[in-house]
Amino acid sequence: MRTRAPLLTALVLLGRAAGAYASSAYRRTASRGWWSTVARRGTVCPSAWMPGRRRRLLASVPLVWVLLWLWCAGVARATLVYVQPAGTLGSLPPHRGEILAAGDDGARPRALAHGFSPVISPNGRLIAFMRYQGDREDLWTMGVKGDHQRRVLRGAGGEVTWFSDSRRLAVDRDPSVGIVTVRDRRVVDFTEDASHPSFAPDGRQLVARFGFRGSGLELLDPRKPRKSRDLGLSGNQPLWGKPGIAFVRGSAIVLLRRPRPGARGRVLFDDRRSGGHLLLAAWSQAGNRLLVGVYTLNSMDEVSPIEPVLIDARRGTVLRLPQPLSALYAVSRNGHTVLGQMGNDVVLERADGTIKILAHNADSATWTA
């Protein structure tokens, strides 16, 4: 979660006051004639002719404004996106769902488009989503305000993952992976027998599981996805974050800090005693926490409620959240809050088990918080 209007308003007022004071100092200094001296010497940099205090003040004001603008831009883009059907959840086909956007606290929801499976880009400016055209699933993108809707790939299907540059998409069409450039809708040849793609934080590489019903992990170059490097490791659900690549091996979660052939991973979490299944959900963007779900299957292969688990990859600590959820979507930047599904509602669960409902009768949530 991010700080909202009160702090933003205070920073704007502070910026205005700093600007007014700087303008006043500029006028007082200019009235003493230093600017005319600068003009005669043919330079537009007055730093050598201004008194030290005013020079430091005027030099710092642009930096303050730039930092303020960047911070405010980050606050303004904090967005929650989810799907809300017109009727009861699950009573309508997926293409009848309506995609909505709201503040990251669920306030001020607004309708954007019809579709399903939205995924917001890392920079918070674009949303990728699926839309049915007859029996075909097409991949579309749009702005966070619902503008500039355009189809980027016909018959996409599968799950979609943004690259860190917010310009490309990895499409998982198990058993194949493809790279789509959003701007020109260029599709790099799909790599066969690959699934579960996850991009590196710098966007230069992809990791994916290879082999039909196999579990070998390999590295891909997004520009040449048919060429891969075998890591020599078996595992499922690879997920690349700042600490490294996390993946599931049996009942354990393994972290590979330096992804290279022959490297060995370190076990972060082992749930052998409970006999549950593991689900890798997301890395926190500003930290080292990994969100994991633990669930079981009954005799009818029905999934039990998912227990959220937060793992600190640096310290090795494990935090089990008390409230089970029916789906896990994301974790906050600081790694202390989980975005998930409880029944028919999109909710937040904090580390102490506190639940906050963000949207009723909704699902498929994604956010930038």
CB-CB contact of 365 with 127 (8 Å): no
Backbone angles phi, psi at 241, to 5 degrees: -130, -175
In a domain, 57, yes or no: yes
Looking only at the bridges linking them, the beta strands covering 277-283 and 289-295 are antiparallel
Verify cis geometry, omega within 30 degrees of 0, for the bond prior to 175.
yes
What is the spatial distance between Cα 303 and Cα 16, in angstroms, rounded to a whole number?
55
Query: How many structural domains are present in the chain?
Result: 2
Residue 359 backbone phi and psi in degrees, to 5: -155, 135
Q: What angle do CA 116, 118, 123 make, to 5 degrees?
A: 165
Structural domain includes residue 232: no
What pLDDT is attached to residue 61? 55
**Cα torsion angle, 86, 90, 96, 101, sign:** positive
pLDDT score at 164: 86
Q: Kindly report each contact of residues 126-135 with a partner whose C-beta sits within 8 Å and lies 24 or more positions away, as own/partner.
A: 126/166, 126/182, 127/81, 127/99, 127/101, 127/366, 128/152, 128/160, 128/162, 128/169, 128/182, 129/99, 130/94, 130/156, 130/160, 131/95, 132/93, 132/94, 132/95
Where is the domain boundary, 54, 73, 92?
73
For residue 209, tell me if it sits in a domain.
Answer: no
Sheet with 277-283, edge to edge strand ranges:
277-283, 289-295, 307-312, 318-320
Whether 225 maps to a domain, the answer reads: no
* Structure tokens given for 74: 């980050």
Q: Specify whether the CB–CB gap between 294 and 278 falls below 8 A.
A: yes
End position of a domain, from candidates 73, 96, 111 = 73
Please report the pLDDT score of residue 68 as a whole number: 56
Question: Splitting the chain (369 residues) into consecutive groups of 10 residues, what average pLDDT does each group show?
Answer: 54 64 54 45 46 54 55 58 70 69 91 93 93 88 94 85 89 77 82 81 86 72 77 90 92 90 88 81 89 87 89 92 95 93 95 94 89
Q: Tell me the three-class secondary structure of 138-178, residue by residue.
A: EEEEEECCCCCCEEEECCCCCEEEECCCCCEEEEECCCEEE
Q: Which residues contact 224 (CB under 8 A, 6 or more apart)?
A: none
Any idea which residue has 């909704």 for tokens? 362
**Cα 184 to the chain's mean position, in Å?**
23
Last residue in a domain, options 73, 94, 109? 73
For residue 28, being part of any structural domain is answered with: yes
Per-residue pLDDT at 303: 81
pLDDT of residue 54: 53
- Domain span including residue 278: 271-369
Domain membership flag for residue 344 = yes
Paired sense of beta strands 150-153 and 136-143, if any = antiparallel
Identify whether 45 is part of a domain.
Answer: yes
CB-facing half-sphere around the CA of 127: CA atoms within 13 A:
32
* Residue 124 within a domain: no
Name the helix (H) or strand (E) containing 296.
none
